[in-house]
Chains A and B, each alone.
Chain A
Amino acid sequence: MVGQTNTIGRLSSYVRTENLPHLMFTGPPGVGKTASAVSIARELFGDTWQSNFTELNASDERGIDVVRHKIKNFARTSPVGDADFKIIFLDEADALTIDAQSALRRTMEKYTRTCRFILSCNYSSKIIEPIQSRCAVYRFGPITDEAVEERVRYIATEEQLDITEDGVDAIKYVAHGDMRKAINALQSAAMLDATIDRDAIYQITATARPEEIEKLISDAYKGDFAESRRKLGDLLTKQGLSGEDIVGQIYRAVFDVGDIPDRKKIELIDKIGETDFRITEGANERIQLEALLAQFVLSGGIYND
């Protein structure tokens, strides 16, 4: 486990004492909530971890019947091997209906001798208070680029992959705090080529290079609509990116483009959002993106013809 230093310290002390309160993990996707739950189970139970650990995805089965039957049945049978209790991992618990959450609360207490719950959710505010009251709550922040880098390098060494410096940077950009994305990108690129460099990463993840996007924006802002539009055409047809991907990257890049004042940036973000919406509503993403570039020209206030 990487990142989340504070949390990990606490969680490993549970493993040391071989005891565990009910836990609730909250945080955005890909920050290690599931991974933490699984590693706790592995370390606590060793070989028998798979029989003593069950994972339920609450967004698949979110009704009260799941709690009353599936969960309860697992909870009330005794643990396998030397384990003192079992663990039920409820992924995306915020997808459980209120009824189901209410039914869960007494189950959590009643079977506490045989079973501990780990709930994971994106927003703790979607979990009813009585459940929060029964859990130790851990918030998982987004993963830092450094943590992504550390992990990528570790995997590369273990798997004996050849990855270039700019390849690592590219993975950090693509992952954007999501470790799962980072590792997926690394694995896919490794299957494609012996050496993993930035182009491989960008290609496999259908991502434009950040400089290309910045150029796209600044060309338009400086009034060179023709050049900017040509660039856009390249991205769409030659590199085969989707309009959605491009608009997402423009959004990320616009904060960091140097020569646009903040007020303008906000105006543009509003336009980008509008374009994103229109792409899903409209039939032709190219037209929407061109219209967005035209907005950048308007915002820059320079027109060269």
Chain B
Amino acid sequence: MNISETKIEWSEKYRPTSLSEIVGNGKPVSDLCAWAKEWRNRAPDRKAAILYGKPGIGKTTAAHALAHDLGWEAIELNASDQRTATAIKKVAGMASETATIGGGIRLIILDEADNIYGNADRGGARELVRIIQHTTQPILLTANDLYGVSQGIKNLCVPIAFRSLQSRSIAQLLRKICQNEGIACDAEALLRLAENAHGDSRSAINDLQAVAQGKSKLHQDDVVVSSRDSRDTIFDVLKKIFKKKDIKDALNATYDIDETPDSLISWVDENLPAQYRGGDMVSGFDALSRADIFLGRVQRRQNYRMWRYAGAMMTSGVVVSKSREYAGARFMPPSQWRRLGQTRAARQMRDAISGKIGLRCQVSQRYARLNLLPFVKGLVSDRDYAVRLAAWAGLDVGEIAYLTGSKKGALKVKTIYQEAQTMFEAGIAEEIEIFGGFGQQGQQGLQNAAADLKPEKPKRAPVALAEELEKKQEKGTEKEPKEALKKAQTSLFDF
């Protein structure tokens, strides 16, 4: 081993180069291989695959290892590169349509595909859809969150989920590295490092390097790198708030943990009713309410001095609220976070639909969600309407399923989707005529509509729907919707 090799990060040094070296995740790796095998003869139906999962569990590594194992050339484009439509087209587009010199296969790796949005990457997502549709070479995308990837891209990809690693597998990995580096290690120390990483092998290796580098022996007590997640110590603060009496101690304890006052107050709020009873609880919530007012002042006026009063009220204020001692109930993390986590998929779906409807109605996503979506949900019980809505707003299968409250694979959803597609294509023809009268703008609308299945340019039709919806809101009888729907049909594409 030469000197320069010892100077690189262990997480890079020990990055597996072959799929067989990847720890855990057997299923996704074999799925990946299966997809890659299809490429041997000719391009398969789905020319791209998307690897998704938490950070540090081997997605990017697997992509490169695949290329290595099959002898493919790999080209990577990641979020640190600009990913506007032009940039993506230049790099990935060229690569995807030309073969390598030797006639081999070239794997295009698009890292962090869930982060292609934002102003800086305008048009990037749409260009990517186009490239995947036309590529002659395999494309692999990686993402932390599948919901962050636009539906158009998702539809074209084979999804492959990577799971977080078990502490045991990570500990094994660490042991191997220690052996390689000639470090004698304590099993307990490795396990502690592994657990601290919460399934993220990269951060475990980073931590190992942090504590073990330059040592010949690693003992449990050497493991001093901070946890990336401070749940262990927040419990100490809670104990000082709910079980002890020292007001200064409770406040000072918050300086040692890495929680913002906003998240600390959620912890206290969650546990207060389980810890205190009667008047003590009331007085505790009064203190929290005061703390919240100070937090609101921080937010509204950017007056960060208010943080200290918020902090004092949510800790010391709750300390003095107890008039007696309470037996220990277990401290729980804020259930609101859990709930938000559980419903995240549904919320993102809801927001995506609201966004589409909002775009067509020229209202904000928020307005569409609060004022239009409830009616749309009611209206889609009429099948004809559902088809027209899907065509008009460009809804995908998942979104139709969400709105109609049926399963994604249901026949009903499929047929609505297919009919909507047909109607949409017919609709383009009508739109061309409609926009014909508007000169330049019309031309652009035409190009947009032809180029992309979901034209993002707001049309005038949506306004008609918004009006329909509002009309219905006023009348609100059972019979009206059907009639209004008939009108809606004519006004959707005809205006």
Does A72 reach chain B (CB closer than 8 Å)? Answer: yes
Does A276 reach chain B (CB closer than 8 Å)? Answer: yes
Contact of A129 among B55, B255, B263, B287 (CB under 8 A): B55
Q: A19-B6, A270-B290, A270-B309 are in contact. Are A134 and B203 (CB under 8 A)?
A: yes
- In the bound complex, do residue B12 and residue A99 qualify as a contact, i.e. CB atoms below 8 Å apart? no
Complex interface: chain A residues within 8 A of B9 (CB): 21-22, 112
Contact of B214 among A17, A104, A255 (CB under 8 A): A17
- In the bound complex, do residue A141 and residue B256 qualify as a contact, i.e. CB atoms below 8 Å apart? yes
Of the listed stretches B28-36, B73-81, B349-357, B468-476, chain A binds B73-81
Q: A26-B258, A106-B112, A280-B303 are in contact. Are A132 and B313 (CB under 8 A)?
A: no
- In the bound complex, do residue B210 and residue A67 qualify as a contact, i.e. CB atoms below 8 Å apart? no
- The bracket for how many chain B residues form the interface is 35 or more
Does B343 reach chain A (CB closer than 8 Å)? Answer: no
Q: A85-B7, A106-B80 are in contact. Are A22 and B56 (CB under 8 A)?
A: no
Interface bits A45-68 vs B (CB < 8 Å: 1, else 0) = 000000000000000000111011
Complex: A104 Cα to B56 Cα, angstroms: 15
Does A266 reach chain B (CB closer than 8 Å)? Answer: yes
CB-based nearest B residue for A142: B255
* Chain A: interface residue total (CB-CB under 8 A): 63
- In the bound complex, do residue A134 and residue B202 qualify as a contact, i.e. CB atoms below 8 Å apart? yes
Complex interface: chain B residues within 8 A of A244 (CB): 305
Complex interface: chain A residues within 8 A of B263 (CB): 125
Contact of B203 among A6, A109, A133, A248 (CB under 8 A): A133
Interface bits B215-237 vs A (CB < 8 Å: 1, else 0) = 10000000011111000000000
Of the listed stretches B167-175, B315-323, B391-399, B458-466, chain A binds B315-323
Does B19 reach chain A (CB closer than 8 Å)? Answer: no
CB-based nearest B residue for A107: B80
Complex interface: chain A residues within 8 A of B118 (CB): 64, 99
Contact of B317 among A109, A113, A266 (CB under 8 A): A266
Q: A251-B308, A262-B247 are in contact. Are A141 and B112 (CB under 8 A)?
A: no
Interface bits B129-155 vs A (CB < 8 Å: 1, else 0) = 000000000000000100000000000
The CB with the most chain A CB atoms within 10 A, among B207, B225, B256, is that of: B225
Complex: A18 Cα to B6 Cα, angstroms: 10
- In the bound complex, do residue A113 and residue B8 qualify as a contact, i.e. CB atoms below 8 Å apart? yes
- In the bound complex, do residue B55 and residue A130 qualify as a contact, i.e. CB atoms below 8 Å apart? yes
Contact of B82 among A68, A102, A266 (CB under 8 A): A68
Would you list which residues of chain B between 1 and 48 have a CB under 8 Å from chain A? 4, 6-12
Complex: A270 Cα to B286 Cα, angstroms: 11
- In the bound complex, do residue B79 and residue A103 qualify as a contact, i.e. CB atoms below 8 Å apart? yes
Complex: A162 Cα to B260 Cα, angstroms: 41
Does B120 reach chain A (CB closer than 8 Å)? Answer: yes
Distance (whole angstroms) from the CB of A165 to the closest CB of chain B: 25
Complex: A17 Cα to B6 Cα, angstroms: 10
Does B312 reach chain A (CB closer than 8 Å)? Answer: yes
Q: A136-B225, A276-B305 are in contact. Are A67 and B80 (CB under 8 A)?
A: yes
Binding site for A on B (CB under 8 A): 4, 6-12, 54-56, 60, 78-82, 111-112, 115, 118, 120, 144, 200, 202-203, 206-207, 209-211, 213-215, 224-228, 245, 247-248, 251, 255-256, 258-260, 263, 287, 290, 294, 297, 301, 303, 305-306, 308-310, 312-313, 316-317, 319-320
Can you name 29 A-B pairs with beta carbons within 8 Å? A13-B213, A14-B213, A19-B213, A21-B9, A21-B210, A22-B9, A22-B206, A68-B81, A68-B82, A72-B80, A84-B4, A106-B112, A112-B12, A113-B12, A123-B259, A123-B260, A124-B228, A125-B260, A125-B263, A133-B202, A135-B203, A138-B225, A139-B226, A255-B248, A262-B320, A263-B320, A269-B316, A273-B306, A276-B306
